[in-house]
Amino acid sequence: MSQIEVLKDRKSQIHLKGSEPFEMTCDRHSLSGSVSQRACVFCGSRVVLYPIADALHLVHGPIGCAAYTWDIRGALSSGPELHRMSFSTDLQETDVIYGGEKRLYAALTQLIDQYQPKAAFIYATCIVGIIGDDVAAVCSRVSREKGIPVLPVHSEGFKGTKKDGYRAACDAMFKLVGREDTADVSPFSINILGEFNIGGEAWIIRKYYEKMGVQVVSVMTGDGRVGEIGRSHGAALNVVQCSGAMTSLAEMMQKEYGIPFIRVSYFGLEDTAKALYDVARRFPDNPEILTRTMDLVKNEIRAIEPDLKEYRKDLEGKRAAIYVGGAFKAFSLIRALKTLGMEVVLAGSQTGTDEDYRILEQMCDEGTVILDDANPVELSKYVIEKDADLFIGGVKERPIAYKLGVGFCDHNHERKIPLAGFIGMYNFAKEVHSTVTSPVWKFAHRRRRV
Amino acid sequence: MLLRHTTAAVAERSALTVNPAKTCQPIGAMYAALGLNGCLPHSHGSQGCCAYHRSTLTRHYKEPVMAGTSSFTEGASVFGGQANLVQAINNMFTIYEPEVIAVHTTCLSETIGDDLPQIISKARDDGKIPARKFVIHANTPSYVGTHVTGYANMAKAMVDYFAEKNGVRSRAVNIVPGFVEPSDMAEIRRIAGEMGITPILFPDTSNVLNGPLTGKFAMYPEGGVTVSELTRSGSSKATVALGRLAAGPAARAMDVKCKVPCHILDLPVGLKKTDEFVDVLRQLAGVQVPDSLEVERGQLLDVISDMHQYLHGVKVGIVGDPDQLIALTDFLVSVDMIPVHIVTGTPGKKFEKRIREIVKDVPHRVNVSAGGDMFLFHQWVKNEPVDLMIGNTYLKYIARDEDIPLLRYGFPILDRVGHSYFPTVGYRGGIRLLEKILDALLDRKDRDSPESGFELVM
C-alpha cells in the first residue's frame, strides 16, 4: 500500500507537516475521476434546512435526490416531524421535455393543503437548472395563494460545491427572518446557528444557555421552527457553530439587522467552555451571566472528569485519523483527542479553506498528514502508514476503516449519541474507548503482525 | 407516530411522490458495474449523485464502495461533459488502474445531450485508454425507469461491449441474475454447480460486496465476472436470465448479438420458481436433478408442511421491485398466505397483469400498484390491516406506527445485517425466507397471546 502514489494534480492538496513549507491548494472543484468523498450543492442545502421540522421540504427533480435524502440525518424534533417525510415531484421524461412547472405547482398546492406547513422550501436539482423551470415564479404564486412563505432553494447540484449549497440554504432562510414580532425578546439573547440537533445536541446547548440566563431565540436549524426563525432578528448576538454552514446567514443578519456574530464550537471541554464564556462576556451589563457560566462550567467538568481520566488511561498514545466535512470540526476534534491523550496523525476535510488549513497545520504535531478533499486510496494509504488506531469520519469512511482493522467513530449524520457539550465529551470518550479497545481488532490481520 | 399525517382516504396524486418505493437508475448501474471484476464504476454527472449512490450502497452492504465522478461544473453543464469525462478516464486509468471503467449517465448529462460512445472513442483516439483496458457505458437518465432498469441497462452493456461469438458453441451457460444480493448470486452459482454447470455469471457481486476483513483496503475485490469470461459468453450454448425486468434485456441482447438462445425466467424465490430454474438447468445440462438438490427441495417442502397451519390465511403487505414481488407473491400464495397489498415503485403494465394472474385464485381482494409509493401502501394498510409486511427498511415507519411485524427484504436494508451472506433464492433461500416469516409471526403471537393461550410448543 505504501507505494501507492497520489494523483499529480492532487499533490497540492496534501501536506505533510515538517517536511515542506506550508502551501496548500483548497476550495477548488474536485478533479474529474477522483473518487472523492464530497457531495453536491443540493446536499449542502438539504442538510442545513432539513431539521426545520414544521416546514415542507419538496425536492423538485427526478426521484433520486429525494430518495437518497429521506430521513438520513438524525436531526431530532421535539414536536412536528414533517421533515422526516420524503416529497418529490418525481420528474419524468415528458416533464424534462415540456417543463416541470405545472407539476411543481400541482404537487406544492396539494402538499400545503394536506399538511398545512408553516413554510415550504422547494429544492431545485440539476435537471431543473438545465430545463429552465422558473421555480421562483411558481413559489411566489403559491405563496400568494396559500399565504405562507414558499421559498425556492437554488441548489442545482452542478453549481459549485457543498458550500455553495449552504449559502443557497442561508439565502432561502434569510427570507424568513424578520417576519415575526420580537416584543418578548430579552436584551440578553442569542440565536444558535449551525447546530442541527443530531442526537439531541441542540437541546444540551440550549439548556446551558438557559442556565446562564441567556435567552435562546432560535436554533438554526436543529429542532427548528419557522416562527422562531421569523423572530431571530430580535436576538442580541448570533453564535455560529461549524465553519461553513451558516456563516453567510450570520453575515446577512449582521448587515441587515446589525446583529454581531461569533464563531464557536461545542465539541470538547475546552471549546465548549470557551463558547459559553465568549457568549457570557458579550453581556457585560449583566455580570451574573458570567458568574453563572463559571459555576456551570465548573460543575459540568467536575461531573465527568473522573470518567475521562479512566478512559484516558487506555487511550494515552493511541493514534487517530480525522476526515470530516468542515475543517472547523477538525480543530475541535484535535483538541478533544488531546484531552484523551491521543495523537492525531492525519487530519483532513472536504471543504476547508486556506485559513482553516493554516490553523490545522499549527495545531498538529510534526509528521501529521493534512488533506483536502481526499479519496479512499489516499485515506487508506496514510491510515496504514501512520498505523492509526482510530478513524473519525462519515458514512463512506466507516467500512474502509473496518477493512483496515481500525476503530471508527462517526462524527457526521450517523452518530446516534450527542457529542456536543460537556456530556458530549464524555459520550465521545466512551465511544472512542469502546471502538479502540474492541477485542475484534486483535483478530484483524494488521494487528497480528504487530 | 412519525407518519401521523397519513390519512386513510386515498386521494389522486398525479404530480407528487411521497415516501418513494424506488430510486433512480444510476445506482442500479453502479451496483451492476461492481459485479464486473476490476471495474471502477463512473458517474457522469454532478458530484452529489456519486456520493449518494456510494453512501446508499455502503449503508446496505456495509462495505467500501468505489466509484468515480465527472464532477460537473456549471461550465460543463453549458459546454458539455466531454472534457470532464476524458480527463476522468485518464486520471482513473493512471492512478486507480482499473481493468474496466463502467460509465453511467445521469439526468444532467443526458439532458445536455452528451454522446457517450463518441466521448469514449475520443478518449481512445487520444490514447487515454491503455491497451487491453476498456471503457463501457450505459444510458441511465434518472427521469426514466428506476434503479431496477439502471441495473438492467448496465448488465446489457456488458453484453454489448464484450460478448463475442467465435463460431463454436461451448458447453458453458450464461446466467444473468437480477438485482439481487451477493449471497443470492453465489447461491445461483452453487445450484448451477450442483447440476454440473459452471456458469458465466454476470453481473456477480459476490466476493465484492460481502468480502472479508483482511486488514487491507482492496480497491478491486476478488469477485466479479472477468472481461475474458464476458468475451467468451457470446459462444455459450444458452443464457438464463433470472428476473424479467432486471436480467431480461441482457439475455435478449445476447440472443440478438451472438445468437445465444435465452431462457427468461422469474427469480428463483420459493418452491415453484426454483423448480422452474432447476428444470431449465437440467435440460441445458442434459442431466437428472442430483440427489443433493432433491434433498434441499424436500427440506423446504418439509418446513412448509411442518408449519403450514401458522401460514394459512396470513395477510401480507409487500413493497419491493417487480422481479422480487412476482416471485415472492407466487411463493406466498403457494404456502397459503394472502398477499393483500402489493406495491412497486417501478412503473409497468405487465407487472400488474402478472400479479393478477398469480393471485387469481386467492380468496381475497388484492390491491396492486406499479408506480406507487410507500404513502399509498400505508393508506391501503390503514384501510385493510395486514398481519405481516415484507419490504425494505423504509417500511419500518409503517411497521412502528401500525404495530405490524416487518420482514426486511429487498433494497435497501439500512438497519440489519445478513442479506449479504444468507441467500433468499433457491430451495435453501426458501427455507430462510420461511424461517424469517415464521419468526416474525410467532414472536408476535408469543407477545400478544393471553397468558392462558401462551404456548411452549408451536
CATH number of the A8-25+316-415 domain: 3.40.50.1980
For chain B, where do the domains classified as CATH 3.40.50.1980 start and end? 25-162, 173-285, 293-453
- The residue extents of the domains of chain A are 8-25+316-415, 41-174, 189-300
**Is A49 a residue whose pLDDT tops 90?**
yes
* Strand partners of residue B92: none
Q: Min CA distance, A409 vs chain B (Å)? A: 15
- Among A42, A81, A90, A111, most B C-beta atoms within 10 A, so best to mutate, is A90
Residue A100, all three cell numbers: 416541470
Q: Min CA distance, A377 vs chain B (Å)? A: 8
- pLDDT confidence of residue A59: 98
- pLDDT confidence of residue A15: 81
**Is A28 a residue whose pLDDT tops 70?**
no
- Residue A218 identity (one-letter amino acid): S
CATH superfamily of A41-174: Nitrogenase molybdenum iron protein domain (3.40.50.1980)
**Is A3 a residue whose pLDDT tops 60?**
no
CATH number of the A189-300 domain: 3.40.50.1980
**Is A449 a residue whose pLDDT tops 50?**
no
* Strand partners of residue A192: A219, A239
Give the percent of chain A with pLDDT over 90: 74
CATH of B293-453, one of 3.40.50.1980, 3.30.930.10, 3.30.450.20, 3.40.50.300: 3.40.50.1980
Tens of pLDDT, residues A208-256: 999 999 999 999 999 999 999 999 999 999 999 976 789 999 999 999 9
User: Does B24 contact A35 at a Cβ distance shorter than 8 Å?
Assistant: no
CATH of B25-162, one of 3.40.630.10, 3.40.630.30, 3.40.50.10490, 3.40.50.1980: 3.40.50.1980
Q: Could you give the CA distance from residue B137 to residue B120 in angstroms, rounded to a whole number?
A: 9
**Is A370 a residue whose pLDDT tops 70?**
yes
**Is A165 a residue whose pLDDT tops 90?**
yes
Which residues, numbered 94 to 153 in chain A, qualify as contacts with chain B under a Cβ-Cβ cut-off of 8 Å? Answer: 95-96, 102-104, 106-107, 110-111, 114-115, 125-127, 129-131
Tens of pLDDT, residues A319-348: 999 998 778 888 889 999 999 999 999 998
User: Does A403 contact B214 at a Cβ distance shorter than 8 Å?
Assistant: yes
Quick check: B241 and B144 in contact, CB under 8 A? no
Same CATH topology for A41-174 and A189-300: the answer is: yes
- pLDDT confidence of residue A1: 36
Quick check: A420 and A43 in contact, CB under 8 A? no
User: Does A445 contact B108 at a Cβ distance shorter than 8 Å?
Assistant: no
**Is A27 a residue whose pLDDT tops 80?**
no
Sorting pLDDT into bands at 50, 70 and 90, what band is B102? very high
Categorise residue B225: left if φ over 0, alpha if ψ from -120 to 50, beta otherwise: beta
Chain A touched by B95 (CB under 8 Å)? yes
Q: Give the lowest-confidence range in A194-208, A406-420, B195-209.
A: A406-420
Which residues, numbered 170 to 229 in chain B, qualify as contacts with chain A under a Cβ-Cβ cut-off of 8 Å? Answer: 211, 213-219
Angle subtended by helix axes B47-61 and A41-49, to nearest 10: 60
Chain B touched by A388 (CB under 8 Å)? no
* Burial classification of residue A309, based on how many CB atoms lie within 10 Å of its CB (0-12 exposed, 13-18 middle, 19 or more buried): exposed
Quick check: A316 and A341 in contact, CB under 8 A? yes
- Residue A366 identity (one-letter amino acid): E
Tens of pLDDT, residues A6-25: 666 677 788 887 777 677 77
Quick check: A241 and A194 in contact, CB under 8 A? yes
ipTM: 0.95
Mean pLDDT of chain A: 91
Q: Could you give the CA distance from residue B50 to residue B66 in angstroms, rounded to a whole number?
A: 9
Nearest Cα residue in chain A from B28:
A64
Quick check: A268 and A300 in contact, CB under 8 A? no
- pLDDT confidence of residue A328: 80
**Is B374 a residue whose pLDDT tops 80?**
yes
| Fold that domain B173-285 belongs to in CATH | Rossmann fold (3.40.50)
Residue A72, all three cell numbers: 438520513
Sorting pLDDT into bands at 50, 70 and 90, what band is A391? very high
Residue B275, all three cell numbers: 423448480
- Among A94, A158, A380, most B C-beta atoms within 10 A, so best to mutate, is A158
**Is B78 a residue whose pLDDT tops 90?**
no
Residue B74, all three cell numbers: 456549471
Interstrand relation of A390-393 and A343-349 (parallel, antiparallel or unpaired): unpaired
Q: Give the lowest-confidence range in A76-85, A356-365, B210-219.
A: A356-365
Q: Could you give the CA distance from residue A73 to residue A202 in angstroms, rounded to a whole number?
A: 14
Residues 6 or more apart from B205 whose CB is under 8 A from it? Answer: B31, B34, B35, B181, B182, B185, B223, B224
The helix (H) or strand (E) run that includes residue B33 is: helix B25-33
3-state secondary structure of A96: helix
A113 CB neighbours in chain B (<8 A) are none
